[in-house]
Structure 1
Amino acid sequence: MSLDWLSAPCAQPDTALAEAARAHQLQLTKPPGSLGMLEALAIQLASLQHTPRPAVERVWISVFAGDHGVADEGVSAFPQVVTGEMVRNFATGGAAISVLARSLAATLDVVNLGTVNDPGEIPGVRRAIIAPSTANFCLAPAMTVAQFDAALSVGAESARSAKAAGAQLFIGGEMGIANTTSAAAVASALLDEPPSVLAGAGTGLNAEGIRHKVSVLERALAQHAGATTALEQLRCLGGFEIAALVGAYIAAAQTGLPVLVDGFITTTAALAAVMINPDVRPWLLFAHRSKEHGHARLLQALNAEPVLDLGLRLGEASGAATAVPLLRLACALHNGMATFEQAGVSTS
């Protein structure tokens, strides 16, 4: 199957509506710029949603789960069986993202791409099994071409389903033991920077564990030094869920659906998506600055200013979900405040 769809044109933001929204903000009963990022978010959403009255009441959250062969290298503080166990926890409502999705009245789309500890058929989980795990990328490419294509396509399917369901905002999340190792490998390759700059504690590694993780990443990057394009780097070093996020972000931008990016792993996917198709970038909003080492560097590479900085590093899309109320308030202020003329307030 061809990957040509990845470079197909994205929808275009409405620059005229952005200017109209900016002018509207200047007429509201407040000093210009006094609501800071809340103003910028409303203007961006008006442009992306092609409406003078932006809204994020209908939110779609897709959480992609997949296991990683590099877990065999001892790079995580948690055992690999946790991935499959957490898939069940998402569906039964006990995970952080499950609670947040309920609180937001958001659609929660849980997608199992392949886990070593397969939980089987679970109501509320879409089975899109590619393999029980990626390969150990210290020894071989993480994904075959067919597996890579499948993962990208599953992600795209979620984004297209969100658009078809009338979602106003797409959020991608992930679950997979050892996936901070995979994300750090991809980020290091994409940015051509040493893994020590991008690798962090993940599930809670100590200093010695992080040093071991960096050494594993150095082996992997040497193994795949011949992968020089973003697509090949993603295939050789990524995970099923990371590739699915890339496919989802590209498809969302192509269909005109704004994306709220979560933390370190999803921002790695966002960087890959932008390097594959630069037109994706205007469609990305960034939820928070993760405590995970390396996330700040990724945000810098994307010239991104996140909404929150709460020391979060859970993943699952939890940081993005936490930022949704602020986006809703930004829209409410933009749509509901009186202008100086309406309120009879003097401007001079």
Structure 2
Amino acid sequence: MKDFKVKKVEKSLEKELQHKIDYKTKPLGSLGKLEDIALQIGLIQETLSPKIKSPTVLVFAGDHGIANDGVSPYPQEVTYQMVMNFLNEGAGINVFARQNGLVVKVVDAGVNYDFGSLGKLLHYKVNKGTRSFLNNTAMERIELSECFIKGSAIVNDLFEKGCNCIAFGEMGIGNTSSAAMLMHYFTETDLHDCVGRGTGLDNKGLKKKIGVLEAAVEFHGELEDWEKIMMAFSGFEIAMMTGAMLQAAENKMVILLDGFIATTAYLAAYKLYPEIKNYVIACHLSDEKGHKLLLEYLGVSPLLSLGMRLGEGTGTAIAFPIVNASVNFLNEMASFESAGVSNKE
């Protein structure tokens, strides 16, 4: 497995940054969460004047063998069809990213479809979908390693082109099942609390999904080793996101986290390198069951709670103006001294 150099954030500028935040023309602490984000990004970038450059949404797409075992009301073909929708700029993530000034790049991590040489698509396919984890491991160790290497390469390419802020989204029919299993094994949360309706299961469908995942737990038994858990249940898109997040942290980039699936990839990264938490901003609370408990486990407070559960990175794109506002007030808002305004003292 690829090693990463994820370091703790250097805090030598913390007092100066906090002073700069506190002495803007406003009551102390009155910008709430914006002040926390401004401090976090200033520390990540090790500057009193942080900037967001070339913000990019990476949408990782992959298929799951478990999708053929009745855990989703949608057929597996929807994954590649939605990838085409992303490339044609017709999906929710395209709308919100375009509105808020982010670039969307779509990664084929493991879609069960031959896209040929489509120019807009980032071709990093590991395989045409994972195996069903109902009666097998989802992937081989070499495939997991390949996900890390490719995720790292994608981020490094963006970094070298000037990007310092990456938002993570995904697409893959069946991936809420994969994420639920990873959450269950990594956090020891009761499986029923990890499993949600995904793409819109009714009560009967949800009961069947839980039954399938319970059978998978019985098949795999107790697992504690990180690699074995990922090999057993991860999707290619989730594993590649994990490697990409770790590379982004190594590069000291701002990481914007979407919903349940992306947070599960972050969970896997956190289990290896807890220091990654310094680089992550959780953008929203997904309505998918399990996400709230997962964020609480990770000690992360989301910026928004809008009842969304679309995935694709849509939560990051909706929250991005808030992140941008945090940097802008720090750089552009007058201080008491520069504005000639009397402070309370």
Q: Pick the TM interval, shorter chain.
A: over 0.9
Matched, 1:118 2:114: yes
**Cα contact 1:84–1:118 (8 A) shared by 2:** no
Aligned to 2:291: 295
Q: Report the Cα offset of residue 191 of structure 1.
A: 0.8
Aligned to 2:142: 146
Counterpart among 170, 177, 192 of residue 173 in structure 2: 177
What one-letter code is carried by the residue in structure 2 that aligns with 1:166? G
Counterpart among 319, 323, 328 of residue 324 in structure 2: 328
Q: Report the Cα offset of residue 341 of structure 1.
A: 1.5
SS in 1 for 2:12: helix
Matched, 1:341 2:337: yes
User: Alpha-carbon deviations, 1:39-65, whole Å to 9, x = none?
Assistant: 100000000011111222420211111
Counterpart among 105, 111, 126 of residue 101 in structure 2: 105
Matched, 1:244 2:240: yes
SS in 1 for 2:169: strand
Q: Report the Cα offset of residue 137 of structure 1.
A: 0.2
The 1-side partners of 2:264 and 2:304 are apart by 18
Aligned to 1:265: 261
**Cα contact 1:75–1:178 (8 A) shared by 2:** yes
User: Alpha-carbon deviations, 1:274-295, whole Å to 9, x = none?
Assistant: 0011121211111000111100
Q: How does 1:194-209 map to 2 (within 5 A)?
A: 194-209=190-205
Aligned to 1:59: 55
- RMSD of aligned residue pairs (Cα, Å): 1.4
SS in 2 for 1:312: coil
The 1-side partners of 2:322 and 2:294 are apart by 23
Aligned to 2:211: 215
Q: Report the Cα offset of residue 4 of structure 1.
A: 4.4
Q: How does 1:274-289 map to 2 (within 5 A)?
A: 274-289=270-285
User: Alpha-carbon deviations, 1:211-235, whole Å to 9, x = none?
Assistant: 2111111121222224312222112
Aligned to 1:31: 27
SS in 1 for 2:170: strand
Matched, 1:229 2:225: yes
Structure 1 window deviating more from structure 2 (17-26 vs 134-143): it is 17-26
What one-letter code is carried by the residue in structure 2 that aligns with 1:228? E
Counterpart among 106, 123, 131 of residue 135 in structure 1: 131
Q: Report the Cα offset of residue 156 of structure 1.
A: 1.4
What one-letter code is carried by the residue in structure 1 that aligns with 2:326? A
The 2-side partners of 1:49 and 1:99 are apart by 29
Aligned to 1:83: 79
Aligned to 2:184: 188
Structure 1 window deviating more from structure 2 (100-109 vs 86-95): it is 100-109
SS in 2 for 1:16: coil
What one-letter code is carried by the residue in structure 1 that aligns with 2:164? Q
**Cα contact 1:88–1:119 (8 A) shared by 2:** no
Q: Report the Cα offset of residue 37 of structure 1.
A: 0.1
**Cα contact 1:91–1:123 (8 A) shared by 2:** no
Aligned to 1:319: 315
The 1-side partners of 2:51 and 2:219 are apart by 46
Stretches of structure 1 that go unaligned for 5 or more consecutive residues are: none
The 1-side partners of 2:325 and 2:59 are apart by 25
What one-letter code is carried by the residue in structure 1 that aligns with 2:258? D
Q: How many residues align?
A: 344
The 2-side partners of 1:300 and 1:290 are apart by 13
Identity of aligned residues (%): 36
The 2-side partners of 1:43 and 1:114 are apart by 37
User: Alpha-carbon deviations, 1:120-147, whole Å to 9, x = none?
Assistant: 3322002222221100001100001111
Q: Report the Cα offset of residue 113 of structure 1.
A: 2.0
4+ residue stretches of structure 1 with deviation over 4 A?
none
User: Alpha-carbon deviations, 1:310-334, whole Å to 9, x = none?
Assistant: 1110001110111111111111111
The 2-side partners of 1:41 and 1:227 are apart by 36
Using the size of structure 1 for normalisation, the TM-score is: 0.95
Using the size of structure 2 for normalisation, the TM-score is: 0.96
The 2-side partners of 1:128 and 1:236 are apart by 21
Stretches of structure 2 that go unaligned for 5 or more consecutive residues are: none
